[in-house]
Structure 1
Amino acid sequence: KPSILRIMDAIAEQLNDVDGQLKEHVLAHHADLAALLTSVKGVGPTTASTLLAQLPELGKLNRKQITSLAGLAPINRDSGTLRGQRHIFGGRADVRRVLYVAALVGTRFNPVLKAFYAKLIAAGKAKKVALVACMHKLLIILNAIARTKSPWRNDLAEAV
């Protein structure tokens, strides 16, 4: 048991080291964009650093391209006369994971996402479907923020 505890301590120390290096890199090279992204309620340092690392195209593509790249665009499953349901898949799973958590927090604390989520639930959408729609909307907002280099504003985000 003491040997395992020492190994766990060493791994925890290495994780803290890597986290520190990641924060230093973001501050040294992407501080402006990270500050803009974290101005959105629900987007924290982990989400911002993951987006910067895994989605360098953020701000350079249009809304359809960026959501397809992240795997958040609804893809139809049609064949001949069969009309299937639309599902999201493919893309960058790491980006989808952090956007899920950001959208989950955003539906509680971000007034725009909270109203959008409530509207979808009131319309009878399933909670997961509504949350995926919030992820989609959040990514579009973050893409617009990265493109225009302007911080979050509730009045502009409601138009998206």
Structure 2
Amino acid sequence: MDEPLAVFVGIDVSKDRLDVHLRPSGEAFFVSRDGKGLDELVARLAALPVALVVLEATGGFEVTVAAALAGAGLPLCVVNPRQIRDFARATGRLAKTDALDAEAIALFAERIRPEVRSLPGPEIAHFAELVARRRQIVEMIGMEANRRRRAADKRLAKKLDRHIAFLAKELAELDRDIGDGIKGSPVWREKEALLKSVPGIGDVTARTLIAEIPELGSIGRQQLAALVGVAPINRDSGLMRGRRTIAGGRTAVRNVLYMAALVAIRHNPIFKRFYDRLTERGRPKKVAIVAVMRKLLTVLNAILRDQKPWQQNA
């Protein structure tokens, strides 16, 4: 008996719906991007011999979708949209609709087959539980909102308003947990692999950067340095002149960048030479380390922007 053909799935994610295309059958369908739609999508894909599901990392709408698919144990990879656009142009696919985008993503999955690293069992269960809880909270908000519309008693209406606000806060926190978890998981492996191609960048640093600074790769180096808090700030006041310090920004990112800079100074010849030049010119060691952090951040930004891994002679 012949084995069933492996199925490659492309999903175009928009705010309200998911367009799905299957290769090699050419079957296409769409579902809503809510709890019911995700349940339907997972059920349909779980019944097929799926080899790979590919999503684009665009706009943040894909995060809950990725968590639901990963929680169902489906082989998943989230890729940069630039790769899909370049692939579509190379294959002469210039027209653009949600359905055609899903087809292009499915073809990319089938032809390119980006590497997928499976999630361990505990992570699968974790994402499944988070997504299920999210669905419950959304349903509770809907039910309480219906009760609020029917409430004639002002005191009861205020209580319902407070409960809805509480549930909305819980939903926001849960969405952050899902986002941080899924972006730190292997399904986001393309971006993680690019970051880790730089000597000095390990798992913790890469995952912190992915979760805490999604702007990486899409903004300028000066704006990025200010965002993280490694841009020098003037402190000219009274008799104090010429002193520059760093402040503000995203502390979690700055902390992991500091450790990564220390590793890079020891083990990466390019950053070591840069650090040595600064200290030989009389710069204090802490100032030189911060300069290495800025240079490292600039390199990481360019790597994600250009989708090219680290090269020693770069």
1:54 aligns with 2:185: no
Question: Please, which runs of 5 or more residues in structure 2 have no aligned partner?
Answer: 1-121, 127-180
Structure 1 equivalent of residue 185 of structure 2 = 26
Q: Distance in 2 between matches of 1:115 and 1:36?
A: 23
Q: Distance in 1 between matches of 2:213 and 2:294?
A: 14
Higher strand share: 2
Scaled by the length of structure 2, what TM-score is found? 0.41
Aligned length: 138
Q: Residues 107-146 of structure 1 correspond to what in structure 2 (within 5 A)?
A: 107-146=265-304
Relative to structure 1, is the Cα distance of residues 154 and 146 closer, same or farther in structure 2, using a 3 angstrom cutoff?
A: same
Question: Please, which runs of 5 or more residues in structure 1 have no aligned partner?
Answer: 1-16
Deviation at 1:25, TM superposition (A): 4.9
Counterpart code for 1:114: K
SS at match of 2:226: helix
Q: Distance in 1 between matches of 2:296 and 2:252?
A: 15
The structure 1 segments of at least 4 consecutive aligned residues displaced by more than 6 Å after TM superposition are none
Query: Which whole-Å deviations, capped at 9, do the CAs of 1:14-73 have from their partners, x for residues lacking one?
Result: xxx68x964885211x21010000000000010000000000000010000000000000
Q: Distance in 2 between matches of 1:46 and 1:154?
A: 22
Query: Which whole-Å deviations, capped at 9, do the CAs of 1:89-136 have from their partners, x for residues lacking one?
Result: 000000000000000000000111011011111111111111111001
Q: Distance in 1 between matches of 2:230 and 2:250?
A: 9
Q: Distance in 2 between matches of 1:84 and 1:125?
A: 14
Q: Distance in 2 between matches of 1:31 and 1:141?
A: 19
Q: Residues 44-83 of structure 1 correspond to what in structure 2 (within 5 A)?
A: 44-79=202-237, 83=241
Q: Distance in 2 between matches of 1:143 and 1:24?
A: 17
Counterpart code for 2:282: G
Please identify the structure whose Cα radius of gyration is greater: 2
Structure 2 equivalent of residue 103 of structure 1 = 261
Q: Distance in 1 between matches of 2:272 and 2:236?
A: 32
1:43 aligns with 2:201: yes
SS at match of 1:140: helix
Aligned residues: CA RMSD: 2.1
Scaled by the length of structure 1, what TM-score is found? 0.79
1:91 aligns with 2:271: no
Counterpart code for 2:256: V
